[in-house]
Every structure is written in C-alpha cells, then in structure tokens.
Chain A
C-alpha cells in the first residue's frame, strides 16, 4: 500500500478498537454498495424485482461517516433521489469507484427528464461534491472526470442545466426519507436566488481551483490535466448560454439518448489545444458527427411509469442550439499569457516542478504564434518565424534555465527542458533560414556551452572547498533521485557540443572540430565514471561519435 508503514499498519490492525471500527465501516460500505445496485436494478427492471421481503424488510442502515451524518435508507420504493444520496455518501468516503459516478450521472439525467422544467442538473452541486471528494483524494481519476463531465454536459445542454452563483455551500445533513433530495433543496434555493452564472465565469473560476490544488501538490498531474482541459474548453467554446450572443455557426443537434454527454463531444474531453492554432479569431466548437453513433443507456428497459429513457419517442424530444461564443484573439491571447505566467511563477517557486516545465513546453508554440501574430510586419514570414523562435529560446535560456541550473545543478528537471529548447531552436533542414538567424542559433549554442563550462568549474571548486562534508550529512540531505554530482552539467554540455558539431561542422575549421569532439567525448568518459548505473547508454553514445 502506497506510503503505509508496515509496523504502524499492522499494529493498528491489532488494536481491537481500531479494527472493530474499520470492520463496521467495511460492513456499512458493503451494505450500501449492495443496496445501491439492487435498488438501481429495481428502478430500471421492475420485472426482475427482488422479492419485496428481501430488500424492503432489511433494517434501515446507516453509514456514519467522519462527517457525522448518516444516510438513512427508508424501506420504500426505489427512487433516483435515494440513489443519488447513496452515491453521494459513498463517494464522499471513497471517490475512486467509477461505477458509482456512473450511477450518479445516470440518476442526474434521469431526474432531469422526470422533473418539469427539465433543469435539475445543478452544476454547482456536482462541482461542490467533486471538490469535496478531491480534497480527500486529489488523485482520484473518477472524481476529476466527473467534474469534467459536469462542465461539458452543462455546456452542451444549456437548457437542461442550472448554473448558479453561490451554490457551493453544501447542505451539511442529508435526510432522504420523505423529503426532497439535497440536490432538489439546493436547486430550489438557487432558483429563488435566480442568479445564472454563465459558463465562462465558471470556467475561469475552475482555473482558480486548479491553482489551489497545485498549491497543495504542485506535481498533481490530474490537476494539471484538468487545467489544460479547462483552458481547451475556454478556447473551444468560450461561454455558452447567457453570455453568448453571436451564434455564428449554431449546430442543431438532437440528443437521442439522455444518459451521457453526446458521443460526438469526445473531443471536448481530450483537452487538446490544437484548435487554438487553426483559428486566429473565432474558434468554434462545431458538432462532429459521430460515425459510430451514440449508445449506452438507450438499452435500459423503460421506466415502470411508462417513461422511456430513449427520448426520441417522446414529444419532449428537442434540439438544442449550440451557441458558440466569439472569443476575440485578444481574449485568447490573454488566456494563454495567463497560463504562461502561471508556469513562470510555479517554476520560480521550485525549479524541480517538472509538471510546470512540461505544461510550459506545450504553451511555447502558442506563445510563439501569438507573438508572430502580434507583430505587424508580415514580410518575410518564414524568417520572422525562425527569428521569433530564436528570440523565445534565448529568453527561456536566460530568464529560466540559467537560473535553474546554477541554483540546482543536480536536479534533472530543468535539464530535460533545456534539451527540449536546444532541439526546438535548431534550424529546420528543409527551410531556407537566412544567415543572420542561423548565426544567432550558433551564437546561442556557444553561449550555452560557455555557461555550462563555467558551471562545471564552479561545481569542481565547491567540491574542493567542501571536502569535509561527511557522508552521513550528504546522504540524509540528498534526495535519492538526485544522482551523481555534476552529472547533468556534463550531459547538458555533451548535448550542446554534439548539436554544434551536427549543425555547423561545415563552417568550422578542423582544429575546432577535433577539440569539440574531444570535449564531448570527455563528458561521456566522465559520465561513465560518475554515473555507472547508466554506463551502457554512455558507451553507446561514445560509439556514436
């Protein structure tokens, strides 16, 4: 078990009080789990109903959680509200099981069709529940996904969604016998308040939530993924509903099944930023037709009251108008620059934040485009482009990388980004970059080499100055993943030197070639000694030269 100390875990189990508490929790969980699935079956498959005695006569069960409230299961007909309350209780305890979220979504959609008007998916309630779950387990795939699903559903089904201000105060107590569900209560309350928040505002506030989670764990890749997803949503659909007026390319879409976000919306879940580069001003979402069609709960047998989940048969079947907002290029730029600045501050907080470097690597091309677009001079576009790449590469080297590698030379994180920048700034072989630019590339590489030589000198001096640093001290202070001293500076220097040799060998005199080759080989020889774990790879590189 991740991070569970063996001795502590075993002694906890030996403690009779703890173990009986855990046993009770387990029984409660198992009971609810069973109850949920049997009630769901009875709801959808009355013909397969269990003998009433079996489930109904069962004593009301309570699951007393740490929040000091329990779900009381009444001996009554199954209802979506009860199922919603059970999922809420179970997921608050353990947000991982995806089938529990499935049942929750199923019930949310089910009730949104039963009730008039069709508006019971209160996005704020789902955002509050998932936030609560994620505070308990910030790495829960299913909880993050449910949050994504809620946003996408709200955007694609604006008429079936209530987005409201101030809905994040979750009811503390849930009593579901003979009273409306928590969701309904919240909904009623919010309806009277009547503030409808547009999706764009919600999306912007999601970025703030991400910032908070990344404050707690700067490497939480779930949260970074979610952030990229939110940014992609902002870029692809801006805001729908109240805020959007210009329905430039409204797509009429029928939704035949109600159970899920339309399958053709899959692209909204990928968090892909590629569309950002395709449109300069307006990015439209557009409806993709799905070749494989929609599926899922259409197959569920109809509701006992004659309600069919397959809505095509119902006169209520309606089309939704996809309103596309027109984010101006300035707005898009602002979002991207905001993300760029976010990574800058994260990296300055901690040069070991590989997640922030990664995110930055994905922003870099967008920043580049935005700078090229911003420039009014459209002459010689190809050269301008490469000039802009080199300018950005120099910026990254001078304002981020130099600082990072001189501060933490043994931390591999910035070195991977350095490798990326070196690779990114190489002149592409097929385009005719003008001589000035190629020369600037060469100059920057030589500057890098000089700085890395200097770094190695500094590190060697430090080694001499601090010969008495005891093994104990360095062992306990040293992160186990840090590796050998100066290793990464040698790797970086080797990279820069071999890049220079590859790109500019034709412009160099023979002496320089020989000396650079020797220096590059020297790096590898040094590496074989100081980093023997990976000597096989270094030996392969020596063979390459």
Chain B
C-alpha cells in the first residue's frame, strides 16, 4: 500500500438509485434558525438541560444550516459574525466569552452573558466561562472556522495548543480536561483542533511533507497518539473508548477520523500484535473487517445502529457513513434504504430530523441526518430540486468541504476497491485500498 499525493480517479461514487421526497428545505431552515432563541430563553427546559454543551449545540446548528445555505446567508441568518440588531450579539463574541484563560481551552458555555435586547441591569459581572474541555474547544474552533474567524486577534492559539498538548498522557491517550477522563473521542478532538490551528505534527512514518507544522517543537507525540488508538481495537474490527472497551460506531468514527487526520490509516492493516497486547494470534482483519462490522449495523428498516442488537438511530448515519467514506466503502450498505430511513425521520410539520421516525427532532440529529444524506449523495439532488447548491460535508473534519479546503486541511482517505475516490474527498491524501 502506498500513499499517493494526487488522485487520478475522477468519478464520483454518488449512487444512481432513484430517491424519494419530499425534503423539507424551508421547514428545516426555519427550525434551525429559530432553535437558538428558543434554547436561550431562561424558561426553556431543554435549554437548561443542555446548557453545559451549548458550544456543541451551536456548532451543530451552524453546521446544519451551512449544508443548506451558503456562508453569507448563514452569517446573516444566524448573526454569526455580527449581531442581529435588537435580538442577539454576534455568536463569535459569545464563543470568545466562553474561552477559559485558566485552562487555555473553551468551555461549553459561560454564565453572565448578556444578549442584546435583554435588560443589561440584571447582570453586572463579566461573563464567567465554564471550565475548558477538549470537546468544546473543538466545537469552538469549528464555529470559528465556519465564521472565517480563526485569525481573530482574540484567539490565543498558543494557549490552545498548550492546552491540547498538555492533555496528552504518556501512553499517547488524551484526557478531556485537567481532571483526567480518558477516551478516544478526546484523541479525535485533540488532533482535529491542532489540524485546524495548523499545528499538527505528522507521524514519523508519513511521507507527506510537514506542511502543517510551524515552529520547531512538535505540540504532541503523534506516533504515540496513533498507537494508542490502535490499542483500542477489538476482535470485531471496531474500536472502543479505551483499550478493552466494547466497539461502538460512534467511537469508530473518532478513531478512524483521528487515524485519517494523522495520515495513519495503513495501520488498520498492521500487525495483529500491535492491535492487542496479548491476543497475539488474532488477525486484525484490516479495513475490511471494520467496514463489514459497520455494514452489519444496517437494520431491515434501512437505518443504522451503533452496536449489534440495538435500534437504528439517525445519528449513526453520520458516525458510520463518515468512517465508511474515509475507508472508501460506502457501497457496503444499501444507501437508498438508509436515505429513506432518514427522510422518514423528518418532522413534516415543524422541520428538523429526529433519531427515529415519529420521535421529537433535535439539532444534533438534524445535523447528523443532513450529513448522512450528504454522504450518500442524496442531499445534493434535493438541492438541485430546490434550485440551490447545497454544500457537502467533509467526513473527517465534520465541516463543509469548502471550509476544509479553504483552511488547507489535508487528511487521508482510502481509495475504494474499484479504485474510485469520491469527489468530495479529493482534497485529501489518497491511500490505495487494501488488497
């Protein structure tokens, strides 16, 4: 297997099967735009319950809308970089209010933030951020990336890099914050953050030029970070949150995404001994075993579940399709059946997409449902029906592809078994498929 810098395959793998409708563009857009104000209300129960992860909520909201509208429209509709007069200050200003200078990372929210239009006498203190955490630091950087605000002078890149690198443990793993919880989700966050900040070192085995790194000292030990991920692999080819933890599709995305960002997907086919400390006999099955396990997540309903014998759920459309897409094996599931399942989860009255048909939508499933439709090529077709050009999602960085391209982010994907690479992936480095 050799990494090649350029791709000579041109065809896209967009399925040709007929697709069903209707796709509720206007309802979804409306739902997404109005959601923020709803959650911001001090009487919103949903807002209170999800208060601690608002940074991610805002990221899902902006990213969802970004798939349906262009950057300028998103900015105006959401008040991303400038305030919506009489309603709300700019989202970017709020993001910076959530920066926690003590840790160097972003918190999930802040308290004491006064929105424009609210009586400012109710609070007389500066906003106080929640504690910095890798999850919210990534969401914040993703928001800033979509807002084209990574060069904002308020962004203290050096401190963020120190925050991220300080969370790496000796075995290569990452803690989510200073209190020490370890999870492969945090590895993905750490690598993605550093990539977005242009400070990700490449591993010793990479033939790519270290175009990403500025400065002399590597922020983190990338070789160890990658080895740790491989140590979380299981007998079914999947990955868990720590070594020994059960495979879970969400965790698979984090691990495959991290390997992709670290240009280390070839390690999927590595020696079995690297896969597990002590089960030295087991062949690790390469990308094929993992992709097969992911393909078996498809249920009769067409939807995907996260583990065997679990119910299908729209959010796995993202976790699984992104991983399959990185490995060039989206065709291993029935994409048109999945598309139907996601469409059935739309709220036909008020917009939004739910986890399952007839359930209550939320922004998380709305975003991941749209991502799913994008990755199987359906969203683009709905766009042409609407007379719009919908943006595509990047399966590695979970940002619109144009944003990824503009930032010059370059991860790694595997060419599919027919030698084809999806158009949206051609900005990344291509690894020839296994076998």
Contact = CB atoms under 8 A, between A and B. Distances in A.
B170 A290 contact: yes
B307 A3 contact: no
B358 A7 contact: yes
B241 A480 contact: no
A4 interface: yes
Given A272-B244, A540-B417, A413 B43 contact: no
Contacts of A224: 245-246
B45 A99 contact: no
Given A26-B47, A481-B308, A416 B235 contact: yes
Given A4-B359, A97-B52, A413-B308, A269 B180 contact: yes
A424 B282 contact: yes
A22 interface: yes
A274 B355 contact: no
A480 B360 CA distance: 21
B180 A261 contact: yes
Interface stretch (A72-80, A177-185, A291-299, A515-523): A291-299
Given A27-B42, A102-B177, A295-B166, A534 B281 contact: no
Contacts of A453: none
A1 B45 CA distance: 13
B277 to A, nearest CB: 4
Interface string A19-51: 000110111011001100110010000000011
Contacts of A540: 417
Contacts of A30: 42, 48, 51
B295 interface: yes
Interface residues of B, number: 90
B125 interface: yes
A355 interface: yes
B45 A2 contact: no
B355 A145 contact: no
B171 interface: yes
Contacts, number: 263
Contact of B246 (A288, A358, A420, A534): A358
A502 to B, nearest CB: 10
Contacts of A288: 170
Contacts of B234: 358, 361
A263 B310 CA distance: 37
A480 B301 contact: yes
B178 A5 contact: no
Interface in B19-54: 42-45, 47-49, 51-53
A374 to B, nearest CB: 17
Nearest to B43: A23
A149 B183 CA distance: 15
Contacts of A2: 313, 355, 359
Contact of A5 (B170, B292, B360): B360
A54 interface: yes
Nearest to A3: B359
A13 to B, nearest CB: 9
Contact of B278 (A102, A263, A266, A274): A274
A420 B236 contact: yes
Contacts of A362: 244
Contact of B332 (A37, A50, A537): A537
Interface string B342-366: 0000010000001100111110000
Given A358-B246, A534-B298, A34 B180 contact: no
Contact of A423 (B42, B51, B125, B235): B235
Contact of B277 (A274, A361, A411): A274
A271 interface: yes
Contacts of A413: 308-309
Contact of A99 (B52, B123, B278, B307): B52
A483 B300 contact: yes
B171 A267 contact: yes
Contacts of A37: 111-112, 128, 130
Contact of B334 (A100, A352, A361, A533): A533
A536 B331 contact: yes
A507 interface: no
A285 interface: no
Nearest to B337: A533
Nearest to A261: B180
A225 B242 contact: yes
Nearest to A7: B358
B173 A480 contact: no
Interface residues of A, number: 102
A102 B355 contact: no
A9 B355 CA distance: 14
Interface in B181-205: 181-183
B243 interface: yes
A458 to B, nearest CB: 22
Interface string A207-242: 000000000000101001100100000000000000
B131 interface: yes
B298 A33 contact: no
A38 B111 contact: yes
Interface string A478-503: 11111100000000000000000000
Contacts of B246: 221, 224-225, 354-355, 358-359
A25 B178 CA distance: 31
Interface string A280-304: 0000000010111001110110000
A366 B177 CA distance: 33
B312 interface: yes
Contact of B281 (A23, A27, A361, A424): A424
A102 B417 CA distance: 47
Contacts of A544: 435
A5 B347 CA distance: 11
B176 A98 contact: yes
A277 B354 CA distance: 46
A97 B312 CA distance: 26
A412 interface: yes
A9 B283 CA distance: 48
Nearest to B280: A428
Given A34-B111, A274-B277, A534 B51 contact: no
A266 B169 contact: yes
A43 to B, nearest CB: 12
Interface string A87-119: 000000010111111110100000000000000
A260 B125 CA distance: 29
B32 to A, nearest CB: 16
Nearest to A274: B277
A259 interface: yes
A411 B245 CA distance: 21
Interface string B273-286: 00001111111000
Contacts of B148: none
B180 A479 contact: no
A292 to B, nearest CB: 6
Interface string A335-349: 000000000000000
B124 interface: yes
Contact of B175 (A266, A297, A365): A266
Contact of A221 (B169, B248, B305): B248
B133 interface: yes
A480 B337 CA distance: 13
25 contacts: A1-B359, A7-B358, A26-B43, A26-B48, A41-B128, A51-B124, A99-B133, A102-B131, A141-B181, A145-B181, A149-B179, A149-B180, A225-B241, A225-B246, A228-B244, A272-B243, A273-B244, A364-B279, A413-B308, A413-B309, A425-B281, A426-B281, A482-B300, A533-B298, A534-B334
Given A225-B244, A428-B280, 8 more contacts: A6-B358, A9-B360, A26-B42, A99-B52, A99-B108, A272-B242, A416-B235, A534-B332
Q: Across the A-B interface, give the 5 residue pairs with the lowest CB-CB distance, nearest first.
A: A97-B52, A23-B43, A22-B45, A420-B235, A26-B48
Interface of B: 42-45, 47-49, 51-53, 102, 107-108, 111-112, 123-125, 128, 130-131, 133, 166, 168-171, 173, 175-183, 234-236, 240-248, 277-283, 291-293, 295-296, 298-301, 303, 305, 307-313, 329, 331-334, 337, 347, 354-355, 358-362, 417, 435
